[in-house]
Structure 1
Amino acid sequence: MYIENELSLPWMARLDHLEHRLFIEQTNEAQSSLWMGKTSFQRLSRFHNDKLVRLATLNYEFKQSIYKTELEQLTRWCKYWGLNEMGFGREKIASACCSLPYDSPIRLMVAKGAIIITITDDFFDMKESLITELKTFTKAFQRWDGKELSGVSKKIFDALDNLVSEMATMYLEQQENSNHDITNWLRKIWYETICSWLTESEWSKNGIVPTMDEYLKVGMTSIATHTLLLPASCFVINPTLPVYSQLRPIQCESVTKLVMTICRLLNDLQSYEKEKEEGKPNSITVYMKNNSEVEMEEAVKYVKEILNKKKKELLEHVMIDGFTNLSKECRLLHLSCLKVFQMFFNSSNRYDSDTEMLDDISKAIYVPLKSIDHEGLEKNLLRPPKSPMIDLTRVPKLTPSKPPPKTPQKSVHLFTVKRI
């Protein structure tokens, strides 16, 4: 099972949380060394191995309880803003609740953003034929004023406005002796994304076929990865510096744009057949229409080559110290986000499926691990080791040594000072 999983699932498509579970289960079932692949003299004893597995199990179940609490908070948040009563679109609260290896506030912030992205993207798909209404919706975000909106569009605006305010407040509270307000910066990021959705709707409505460069420029924005990455980056880098000095340099833009492009191509490779039927632009169909002699298989191969090249570039930026001035924490955040997308779109469009993610969600949040059933293990898990028993009959008799020679003491003269 372990070898089969290693060969079938690429490293980039694995979430650390689920990998930990798989490793614990396999170690527990096989009762083998915790360190797979190590030589025998490097292995731990069975007793100590079981202790570590039990500790890993307790840690995993503790994280499960945290993720379950976060999912409940997200559900209440969606209900409060009416996002669960849209009457259309995908219900992806649990899928958005990904186990990113960061603090709970960051995970919740990313999850809320992902929920709004999914709902708004579905809103544009639903209203694709009503370009005038979509333009009104987009202009409301340009002004950042939702007074003219109503119904579903008003609910989306209010929820996003609240999220932006929450992020900006969180950032101010984190800073030390500073008053940098990132509200307008966050609004600009979301407005750019909404504009890209409008552009894609106009392409579909009017039958416009963009060039490959035009499509990727819009598509890497419409996938909306940066609306999650850049705000979250504010909380994993030095909070004492202005956000613009940390997130706008060329190096950061290169890393972020690579993730945006990769995520767009991953999505396209698993949805081009469906989008072709719906008349929506996709990197594969765009390449075919711009190169009429190219068949579908050749177009897929071409896009995969671009994807693999971009992945290699990203790994160089993330893994090699000194390759970029971006902090390690921010680089790893980009990698974590990419791994989530790779997990969603590795071999199919799991994000749009109602069933493919159920098993992973259950294992990540609800299903407990099988505990190790060894007598006395739980009782002795955190108990300090007992002192060794001493057999007094075997203690050698101590021969008293000669006392050390006395050192002659110096005489001390006391003087009395009389007052004259």
Structure 2
Amino acid sequence: MRVFRWDEHSKDEFYSEQVKILFYAIYTTTNHLGTMASFVQDRDVKKHLIEIWLQLLGTMITDADWRMRQYVPTVEEYMETAIVSFTLAPILLPASYFVGQTLLASVVNGQEYNELFRLMGTCCRLLNDIQGFERESSEGKLDSVSLRVLHSDGSMSIEAAKESIRRSVASCRKDLLRLVLKEDSVVPRACRELFWNMCKICHFFYSHTDAFSSPTEMVSTVNAVIHEPLKLEIRDLSLPVQSEK
């Protein structure tokens, strides 16, 4: 796969023009962000940003291989891949370099930073699976809901599986908040809050429906934030204020 060669990608022809466009979008954007992040952090972080994309694409290859072989993974196998394939890493992890805090390589590669990502990714992926179950099932895709039902040998219904997942989300959310508020953390607070804010965004998208993929669900919210003017309540100070007797 050409993207895994990165700077050596020019040795072979592209499979199609669409592949070429997608590759160069990833390649140029990641290199550009890497250069800016390296300047902000005063060290080379481009390699980390490239690794983020390689890990993501690796999980997508695994997903495609499972579908082609009609392989049914365990819930644990699925989650290990699905947390990464949910595509939050290329969005959030580069951003952590731009919040005005120094992020050492030892911190980025450390247990706490990776646990923050795992907990956030688990919450977001499970919320997505609950709301996207019907659509993905109609497309022949497996997720954490269908896998729980399949591996229960008929002892768990779809609703029971969803309820079990909701409990897992609540537990992960508590553990994530505990890490975010931790006093002696090696991860800067501003970086930890990125993980918490992303978790809240996913709750907003998936609390009642799959609002992320809906063309209309978020329209009113987007308009309220971007297009609609702020409505301020202005008190008429010219009117006398009556004192209470």
The answer to whether the aligner puts 1:222 opposite 2:78 as a matched pair is no
The answer to whether the aligner puts 1:342 opposite 2:203 as a matched pair is yes
Q: Retained in 2: the 8 A contact 1:237–1:327?
A: no
Q: Retained in 2: the 8 A contact 1:272–1:285?
A: yes
TM-score, normalization by structure 1 = 0.53
Q: Retained in 1: the 8 A contact 2:133–2:145?
A: yes
1:288, 1:300 → 2: CA distance?
10
* Cα displacement string for residues 135-166 of structure 1 (whole angstroms, at most 9, x for unaligned residues): xxxx1111112653232211111111111112
Q: Residues 92-241 of structure 1 correspond to what in structure 2 (within 5 A)?
A: 139-144=1-6, 145=9, 148-149=13-14, 150-175=16-41, 178=42, 180-236=43-99, 238-239=101-102
1:219, 1:172 → 2: CA distance?
29
Q: Residues 2-13 of structure 1 correspond to what in structure 2 (within 5 A)?
A: none
What letter is aligned with 1:292?
D
* Cα displacement string for residues 212-253 of structure 1 (whole angstroms, at most 9, x for unaligned residues): 1100000011012222222111122533x64x2231111111
TM-score, normalization by structure 2 = 0.88
Q: Would you tell me which structure has more helix in proportion to its own residues? A: 2
Q: What is the deviation of 1:292?
A: 1.6
Specify the SS of the correspondent of 1:332: helix
The residue number in structure 2 matching 1:16 is none
Between 1 and 2, higher relative CO (CA 8 Å, sep ≥ 6) is seen in 1
1:306, 1:224 → 2: CA distance?
20
The residue number in structure 2 matching 1:369 is 230
Specify the SS of the correspondent of 2:98: coil
* Cα displacement string for residues 265-295 of structure 1 (whole angstroms, at most 9, x for unaligned residues): 0110100111111111100101111112221
What letter is aligned with 1:291?
S
The answer to whether the aligner puts 1:351 opposite 2:217 as a matched pair is no
Q: What is the deviation of 1:375?
A: 6.2
2:142, 2:89 → 1: CA distance?
20
1:310, 1:295 → 2: CA distance?
23
2:164, 2:200 → 1: CA distance?
22
* Cα displacement string for residues 106-152 of structure 1 (whole angstroms, at most 9, x for unaligned residues): xxxxxxxxxxxxxxxxxxxxxxxxxxxxxxxxx11111126532322
Q: What is the deviation of 1:191?
A: 0.9
Q: 1:297 to 1:374 in 2, by over 3 A?
A: closer
Q: What is the deviation of 1:320?
A: 3.4
Q: Retained in 2: the 8 A contact 1:267–1:349?
A: yes
1:152, 1:338 → 2: CA distance?
32
2:32, 2:3 → 1: CA distance?
17
The residue number in structure 2 matching 1:277 is 138
What letter is aligned with 2:139?
E
Identity %: 28
Q: Retained in 1: the 8 A contact 2:145–2:158?
A: yes
Q: Retained in 2: the 8 A contact 1:255–1:317?
A: yes
Q: Retained in 2: the 8 A contact 1:203–1:281?
A: no
Q: Retained in 1: the 8 A contact 2:38–2:46?
A: no
2:96, 2:222 → 1: CA distance?
25
1:165, 1:333 → 2: CA distance?
22
Q: Retained in 2: the 8 A contact 1:236–1:330?
A: yes
What letter is aligned with 1:165?
N
Q: What is the deviation of 1:325?
A: 2.4
The residue number in structure 2 matching 1:413 is none
Q: Retained in 1: the 8 A contact 2:37–2:46?
A: no
Cα RMSD of the aligned pairs, angstroms, is: 1.9
The residue number in structure 2 matching 1:308 is 170
Q: What is the deviation of 1:258?
A: 0.6
* Cα displacement string for residues 11-43 of structure 1 (whole angstroms, at most 9, x for unaligned residues): xxxxxxxxxxxxxxxxxxxxxxxxxxxxxxxxx
Q: Retained in 1: the 8 A contact 2:96–2:191?
A: yes
* Cα displacement string for residues 155-178 of structure 1 (whole angstroms, at most 9, x for unaligned residues): 111111111112112123324xx4
What letter is aligned with 1:353?
S
2:87, 2:225 → 1: CA distance?
25
Q: Retained in 1: the 8 A contact 2:107–2:186?
A: no
Q: 1:346 to 1:376 in 2, by over 3 A?
A: same
